Amino acid sequence: MLTDLIAGAVADATARRAARSQADIERAAAARPPALDVLAALAASSRVKIIAEVKRASPSRGPLADIPDPADLAARYVRGGASAVSVLTEGRRFGGSLADLEAVRAAVDVPVLRKDFIVLPYQVFEARASGADLVLLMASALDQSELVELHDLVESLGMTALVETHDATELQRAIDVGAKVIGVNARNLATFELDRDLFGTLAGGIPQGTIKVAESAVSSAADVAHYRSAGADVVLVGEALVTSDPESTLAEFLAV
């Protein structure tokens, strides 16, 4: 599944690059106002923080929600207390787009994450050109030299990388590149099975001062509390918000 998702993302990015050159997207990225301070927005505090996700569908669950106005949804997230908004821009299996990212960026004043299968420098420039402050880099999708290259590029453009890991080896790779924000995804991308306890297993190995993000397997406030007790500074939530009233659900999640 991951191989197919990456291949699709590369094909789509290659098609976009044929229509809009690398030089043009780099100019657009440079013309953007500076990225927001993600580290300040997500820094550890006495309360858990939430990255709320605009997510229409997923490969494991299919369609989740009709989201005709992602900007309105993002604004509701911020009113509900979200510290950042994640936007899935992958179109084939998640139903997202860069247009969604641009609409969300224009609607909120908190950091915005581009969540996609980022494996090409062109995609990083696209993220900045569309207003992203934070870019997902999946250790499982990149070898170490690619991870270093893209992480450095993200930082050179003033953005922050959320480096996603799934096991101890990937965690060490994230630490080695100097990631300041490290995520642990409970979803096994080979089987799509969930392990809510994976975060707690790996969190002790994340260096002090690094922002720790728990991803996936969140359906209730009890799940958020579970991650918080295991050391999460931030919890990324998508499905539970798009399939409910987001503001009331965020209130429950932030009260843990």
CA neighbor of 116 nearest in space, from 224, 10, 36, 208: 10
The H or E element spanning position 110 is none
Q: Considering 90, 126, 215, 239, which one is annotated as catalytic?
A: 215
Q: Which one-letter DSSP state was computed for residue 141?
A: G
Q: Considering 58, 86, 115, 126, which one is annotated as catalytic?
A: 115
Looking at residue 79, its pLDDT comes to 97
Annotated catalytic residue 212: no
Q: Considering 58, 86, 130, 185, which one is annotated as catalytic?
A: 185
Distance CA 96, CA 63 (A): 12
DSSP string, 11-56: HHHHHHHHHS-HHHHHHHHHHSPPPP-HHHHH---SS-EEEEEE-S
Annotated catalytic residue 215: yes
Annotated catalytic residue 216: yes
Q: What's the whole-model pTM score?
A: 0.96
Looking at residue 59, its pLDDT comes to 84
Annotated catalytic residue 53: yes
Q: Considering 164, 170, 180, 239, which one is annotated as catalytic?
A: 164
Give residue 104's domain range.
2-254
Q: Which residues fall within 8 angstroms of residue 138, CB to CB, at 6 or more apart?
A: 117, 118, 164
For 178-200, how does the pLDDT look when each residue is reduced to its tens digit (9 = 90+)?
Answer: 999 999 999 887 777 899 999 99
Question: How many distinct structural domains can be found in the chain?
Answer: 1
Phi and psi angles of residue 76, each rounded to the nearest 5 degrees, phi first: -65, -40
Annotated catalytic residue 102: no
Looking at residue 193, its pLDDT comes to 86
Q: Which residues fall within 8 angstroms of residue 167, CB to CB, at 6 or more apart?
A: 202
Greatest extent of the chain over all pairs of C-alpha atoms, in Å: 48
Q: Considering 55, 130, 212, 239, which one is annotated as catalytic?
A: 55
CATH (domain of 139): 3.20.20.70
Mean pLDDT per 10-residue segment, the chain (256 residues): 92 97 98 98 96 93 93 98 98 96 98 98 98 98 98 98 97 98 90 91 97 96 97 96 96 96
